[in-house]
């Protein structure tokens, strides 16, 4: 028997999923260990070995591949705990990352504080050199100037250096020479070159992304090396692959080199899993809704494909211009802390109790009221059987924490608990609107795919606020991100700036550039992959007077065709019209960047077995003992075990459906049917989109 394993390290829990060679799925869920995430990973693997009735060494010896999504890079940015970074740049351009683009995020807020800089002014050092916009050398790299700059960085005791020279995306020679000088003087320092991290036009995005890469790179590298060592010492000899923000996988070496590409590593696994779930249930339009212990991540899947973006994303106030899934992340999870602001308004998040100390009900010293505590006070959770009995919840501690909120609001603890859940639900519904309504998409035409350990208690209320009637909850909802990571492939994203007005563009030059990018991608995949490769090409284009680009896929186009440029221009016009409802055929079209994705196809996907339908189909299985729950009033609510419900069973709300790792709350008028996969398909009564009940 052989296994493939997916691992998702979240802020609160670490999920480990194993799939054997027959397609059977096994999983374990343990508390994360923020001080050393690799320890939580190994604990999860040990727990999975217990589930499989074997020793850890035996499990790892039989494991072909481990796929891992991690929040190490994300949390490093969010918590300002990254490396001590120095920046070397062209003399006179030290303040690019501070001047930004000259605009504030909230331009009318006169008291908006400036963002905290990763690299303070004293560690931003100019070097005498200059390249022209076409890559030609205007001023050669001054050796004495470089030596003085490196000496200053040594005195500053930096852990990492970002090298960002003007126009180096056209000619990396000066950055490469600088790296050699740094390697001689500061051995062991993490070095991040803008010509490797993001070789494309626009200084600020390139500088910022390179600085972020230098900031998170040392910690991510240390963590991955530490985890690799622990796995090897425990008997694992296969590949460890790391989930990337764009939804593909990378080797440990590649992930450490391009650390900024893993800032959305964990959520990207959920998107991959959601896409595969859609194929299994025949749903091409899905809103993926991942509510964990620390955050909620939401994305849109249209016609079976998630949206990937090459535009700049803000991560903890820092622009990162690497390709990624189009995700909205909210500080609303089971561990999100409720608080009352100076105006007496109830708030939830973005602060989280995390894994340590966790919600007050965990009994680990946490005193702040969280969403989990509110759900326990309302009777939705079984205090004696949390996480399948791995942990008991302290109802008295949860009540005491919620009472603190109630006193500040001058209401009862029940009203406070209900208010906490309502605020969280409203925030999450707004997150769904951000990926749908605000982008011209009607969410009512989509199914809401709910996963993550906390989603089941909130998803029907979120759907009700949005007017969504179909909710899908997979059997592996609590660990779907870890499972989904095994459904994706190795992927290498390459971008090169290639500015040309369409009527002057040289098709042969464009073909040569694509060929060079494909060769580079294959070379980067080669150390960890020998299988079939797919190539995807795209261009960033704009009308001549525009200051932003539109991504244009060349999928299905023969780039060897004689009329390549006219076809590309027509695709741009069509794509612009799809996005903005108009085209400007008389305007000059400009090609800005060329993009190539080199995808290494991995082995067979994990399968969810179809369950046999018993003779009791469409019958209501007798529930367990009812639980007293507060749904506008106290009432006894029947409780069902999902594992004991055969396919086609129907459960009508109000009801609670439990698994070992998640709890689903059906409110009055909701009803759920068990699908042939053992999943829940929930129908929610239709209300206006603006409704809150």
pLDDT in tens, 429-438: 999 998 888 8
- The token pair at 605 is 């996907």
Which pLDDT tens digit goes with each residue over 266-276?
888 889 889 98
Q: Are strands 296-302 and 305-306 parallel, antiparallel or unpaired?
A: antiparallel
| Terminal C-alpha separation, the chain | 50
Q: How high is the mean pLDDT of the chain?
A: 89
Q: Does 125 have pLDDT greater than 70?
A: yes
Any idea which of 308-317, 403-412, 499-508 has the lowest mean pLDDT?
308-317
C-alpha to C-alpha distance for 386 and 662, rounded to whole angstroms: 8
**CATH classification of 3-76+221-262 is 3.30.420.40, yes or no?**
yes
**pLDDT surpasses 80 at 509:** yes
pLDDT of 71 reads 80
The band of 439, judged by pLDDT with boundaries at 50, 70 and 90, is: confident
Write the pLDDT tens digit of every residue in 473-505.
998 888 888 988 888 888 999 999 999 999 899
> How confident is the model at residue 615, as a pLDDT?
45
**Are β-strands 663-666 and 346-352 bridged in parallel, bridged antiparallel, or unpaired?**
unpaired
Residue 629: band (very low, low, confident or very high) from pLDDT cuts 50, 70, 90: very high
Residue 24 has pLDDT above 70, yes or no: yes
pLDDT at 689: 42
pTM of full prediction above 0.75:
yes
Judge if 3-76+221-262 and 489-600 fold alike in CATH terms: no
Question: What are the pLDDT digits (tens) for 61-93?
Answer: 999 899 999 888 877 777 778 899 999 999 999
Q: Kindly give, in sequence order, each residue whose CB lies less than 8 Å from that of residue 581, ignoring residues fewer than 6 positions away.
A: none
pLDDT at 327 over 50: yes
What are the backbone angles phi and psi of residue 644, rounded to the nearest 5°? -90, -5
Q: Tokens in use for 464? A: 């009700």
pLDDT of residue 616: 47
Can you tell me which residue has the tokens 């367990």? 624
CATH class for the domain made up of 489-600: alpha beta
Residue range 52-64, pLDDT digits in tens: 999 999 999 999 8
Residue of 341, 370, 332, 339 whose CA lies nearest to 353: 370
d(CA 349, CA 360) in angstroms, rounded, equals: 15
Where in 247-381 does DSSP place strands (E)?
A: 249-251, 286-291, 296-302, 305-306, 308-309, 313-315, 318-320, 324-325, 327-330, 336-340, 346-352
Query: Per-residue confidence at 263, pLDDT binned at 50, 70, 90?
Result: confident
pLDDT of residue 654 exceeding 90, the answer is yes
Give the integer Cα–Cα distance in Å for 654 and 175: 64
Domain ranges of the chain: 3-76+221-262, 81-217, 489-600, 624-683
């Amino acid at each position: 028997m052989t296994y493939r394993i997916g691992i998702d390290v979240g802020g609160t829990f670490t999920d480990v999923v194993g799939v054997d060679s027959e397609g059977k799925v096994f999983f374990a869920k343990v508390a994360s260990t923020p001080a050393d995430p690799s320890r939580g990973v190994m604990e999860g693997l040990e727990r999975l070995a217990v589930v499989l009735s074997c020793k850890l060494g035996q499990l790892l010896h039989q494991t072909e591949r481990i796929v891992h999504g991690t929040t190490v890079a994300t949390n490093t940015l969010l918590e300002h705990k990254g490396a001590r970074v120095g920046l070397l740049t062209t003399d006179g351009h030290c303040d690019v990352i501070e001047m930004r683009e000259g605009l504030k995020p909230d331009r009318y807020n006169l008291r908006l504080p400036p963002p905290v800089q990763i690299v303070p002014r004293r560690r931003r050092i100019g070097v005498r050199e200059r390249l022209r916009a076409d890559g030609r050398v205007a001023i050669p790299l001054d050796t004495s100037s470089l030596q003085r700059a490196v000496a200053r960085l040594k005195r500053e005791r930096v852990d990492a250096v970002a090298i960002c020279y003007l126009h180096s995306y056209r000619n990396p020679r000066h950055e490469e020479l600088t790296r050699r000088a740094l390697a001689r003087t500061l051995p062991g320092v993490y070095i991040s070159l803008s010509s490797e991290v993001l070789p494309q036009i626009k200084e600020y995005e390139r500088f910022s992304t390179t600085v972020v890469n230098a900031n998170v790179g040392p910690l991510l590298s240390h963590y991955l090396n530490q985890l690799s060592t622990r796995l090897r010492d425990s008997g694992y000899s296969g590949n460890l692959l790391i989930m990337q923000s764009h939804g593909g996988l990378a080797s440990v070496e590649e992930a450490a080199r391009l650390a900024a590409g893993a800032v959305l590593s964990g959520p990207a696994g959920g998107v991959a899993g959601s896409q595969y779930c859609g194929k299994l249930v025949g749903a091409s339009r899905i809103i993926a809704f991942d509510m964990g212990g620390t955050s909620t991540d939401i994305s849109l899947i249209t016609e079976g494909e998630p949206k990937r973006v090459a535009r700049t994303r803000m991560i903890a106030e820092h622009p990162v211009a690497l390709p990624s899934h189009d995700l909205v992340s909210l500080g609303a999870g089971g561990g999100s802390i409720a608080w009352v602001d100076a105006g007496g308004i109830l708030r939830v998040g973005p602060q989280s109790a995390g894994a340590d100390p966790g919600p007050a009900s965990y009994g680990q010293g946490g005193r702040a009221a969280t969403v989990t505590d509110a759900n326990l006070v309302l009777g939705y959770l079984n205090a004696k059987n949390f996480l399948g009995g791995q942990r008991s919840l302290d109802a008295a501690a949860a009540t005491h924490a919620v009472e603190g909120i109630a006193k500040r609001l001058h209401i009862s603890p029940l009203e406070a608990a209900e208010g906490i859940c309502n605020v969280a639900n409203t925030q999450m519904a707004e997150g769904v609107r951000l990926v749908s309504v605000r982008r011209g998409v009607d969410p009512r035409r989509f199914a809401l795919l709910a996963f993550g350990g906390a989603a089941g208690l909130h998803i029907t209320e979120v759907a009700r606020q949005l007017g969504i009637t179909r909710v899908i909850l997979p059997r592996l909802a609590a660990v779907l991100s870890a499972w989904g990571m095994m459904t994706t492939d190795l992927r290498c994203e390459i971008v090169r700036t290639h500015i040309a007005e369409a009527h002057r563009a040289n098709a042969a030059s464009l073909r040569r550039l694509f060929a060079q990018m494909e060769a580079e991608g294959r070379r980067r995949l080669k150390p960890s992959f020998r299988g079939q490769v797919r190539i995807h090409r795209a261009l960033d284009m704009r009308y001549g007077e525009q200051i932003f680009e539109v991504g244009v896929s060349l999928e299905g186009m023969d780039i060897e065709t004689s009329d390549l440029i006219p076809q590309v221009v027509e695709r741009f016009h069509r794509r612009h019209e799809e996005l903005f409802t108009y085209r400007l055929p008389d305007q000059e079209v400009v090609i800005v960047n060329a993009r190539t994705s080199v995808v290494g196809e991995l082995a067979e996907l994990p399968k969810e077995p179809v369950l046999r339908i018993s003779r009791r189909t469409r019958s209501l299985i007798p529930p367990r003992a009812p639980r007293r729950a507060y749904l506008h009033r106290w009432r006894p609510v029947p409780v069902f075990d999902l594992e004991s419900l055969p396919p086609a069973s129907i459960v009508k709300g109000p009801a609670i459906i439990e698994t070992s790792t998640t709890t689903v709350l059906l409110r009055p008028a909701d009803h759920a049917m068990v699908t042939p996969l053992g999943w829940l398909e929930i129908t929610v009564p239709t209300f206006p989109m603006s409704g809150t009940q």
